[in-house]
C-alpha cells in the first residue's frame, strides 16, 4: 500500500512538471493565482506571512527536525526517531536540490515578490517539500507515541494545516508558482510514504524475529 502511494504521488509530480514544461494543464493557473495573491497582499500580511514562511527555510525547518528527532528519541529511549528523521531529511534535501537543478525553472518576477528575494530555481518548492516530509514524519511518530485518539487527530490536523499553509505562503509572497508548491507536496508525500513503509516493514520483521519485543 505504501509503495502504491509513493508511485501515485510520483505520477502526480510528473504530470505537474509535464504541464509546466508544456505550459498547459494546471500550469495555466499559475499566473492568475499569483496575480490574485498580489492583489490581496498588504504590508502587514506580507510581513507576518514572511515570518511564518521562514520557519520552513534553511534554518527553521532543520531546527524543527533536530528538536523533534532528539526529543522523541529521548522520550522513546530509542534511536528510531533520529534515524528516520535523518533518512527522511536527507532524501528531501536531495530531491529538492536535484529537482531544481534538472528543471531550472524561473521564479515569478521579482516585481511581484516580497523581499528578501530567492535566487535558486523555482521547481519544486523546497520549503513545501521539506515541510511536508519533516512535519509529516513528525505526525507519524507522534501518532505512534500518543495513546489518545483525540490527541492523534489533533496532531495530524495541526501539522497538516501547517504544511498546507507553508505551501500557500510561498505563492502569496511571490516566491513560487502554484505548480512549484503542488509538486513539493506531491514529491514530499511520496517520499514520506516510502520512509514510513520502510519503517513499518522493519517493525514487522522485528516482531517476527522477536515475538515478545515491542516497537
The cell numbers describing 24, all together, are: 498547459
The cell numbers describing 149, all together, are: 485518539
Distance in angstroms (rounded) separating the CA atoms of residues 210 and 198: 18
Would you state the pLDDT for residue 214?
45
Q: pTM, whole model, 2 decimals?
A: 0.93
* Ranges of the chain with pLDDT below 70: 212-215
Other CB atoms within 10 Å distance of the CB of residue 200: 13
Which numeric CATH code is attached to 2-209?
Answer: 1.20.144
pLDDT tens by residue, 155-212: 999 999 999 999 999 999 999 999 999 999 999 999 999 999 999 998 888 888 877 5
Burial of 178 (0-12, 13-18, 19+ CB in 10 A): buried
Other CB atoms within 10 Å distance of the CB of residue 49: 19
Q: Mark residue 23 as left, alpha or beta (left: phi above 0; alpha: psi -120 to 50; beta: remaining).
A: left
Q: Per-domain residue ranges for the chain?
A: 2-209
For 122, 142, 147, the CA distances from 105, given in Å and listed in that order, are 5, 36, 45
Tell me the CA end-to-end span of the chain in Å, nearest whole number.
Answer: 21
Would you state the pLDDT for residue 203?
85
Contacts 24+ apart (CB under 8 A), 16-19: 16/179, 16/182, 16/183, 16/186, 17/103, 17/123, 17/183, 19/179
Kindly state the DSSP code that residue 23 receives in the 8-state scheme.
Answer: T
126 Cβ contact list (under 8 Å, min separation 6): 96, 100, 120, 184
The cell numbers describing 164, all together, are: 498546507
The candidate with the shortest Cα–Cα distance to 118, out of 133, 100, 134, 102, is: 100
Instruction: Tell me which residue has cell 527536525.
Output: 65
The candidate with the shortest Cα–Cα distance to 83, out of 210, 187, 195, is: 195
Would you state the pLDDT for residue 207?
81
Amino acid at each position: 500500500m505504501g509503495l502504491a502511494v509513493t508511485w501515485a504521488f510520483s505520477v502526480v509530480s510528473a504530470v505537474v512538471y509535464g504541464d509546466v514544461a508544456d505550459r498547459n494543464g494546471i500550469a495555466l493557473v499559475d499566473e492568475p493565482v499569483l496575480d490574485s495573491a498580489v492583489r490581496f497582499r498588504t504590508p502587514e500580511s506580507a510581513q507576518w506571512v514572511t515570518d511564518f514562511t521562514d520557519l520552513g527555510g534553511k534554518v527553521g525547518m532543520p531546527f524543527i527536525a533536530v528538536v523533534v528527532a532528539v526529543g522523541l528519541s529521548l522520550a522513546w529511549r530509542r534511536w528510531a526517531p533520529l534515524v528516520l528523521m535523518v533518512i527522511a531529511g536527507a532524501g528531501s534535501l536531495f530531491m529538492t536540490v536535484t529537482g531544481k537543478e534538472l528543471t531550472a525553472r524561473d521564479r515569478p518576477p521579482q516585481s511581484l515578490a516580497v523581499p528578501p528575494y530567492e535566487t535558486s530555481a523555482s521547481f519544486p518548492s523546497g520549503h513545501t517539500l521539506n515541510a511536508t516530509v519533516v512535519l509529516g514524519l513528525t505526525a507519524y511518530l507522534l501518532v505512534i507515541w500518543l495513546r489518545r485518539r483525540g490527541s492523534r487527530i489533533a496532531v495530524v490536523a495541526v501539522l497538516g494545516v501547517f504544511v498546507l499553509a507553508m505551501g500557500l505562503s510561498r505563492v502569496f509572497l511571490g516566491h513560487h508558482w502554484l505548480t512549484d508548491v503542488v509538486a513539493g507536496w506531491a514529491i514530499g508525500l511520496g517520499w514520506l510514504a516510502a520512509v514510513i513503509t520502510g519503517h513499518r516493514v522493519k517493525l514487522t520483521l522485528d516482531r517476527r524475529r522477536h515475538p515478545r519485543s515491542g516497537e
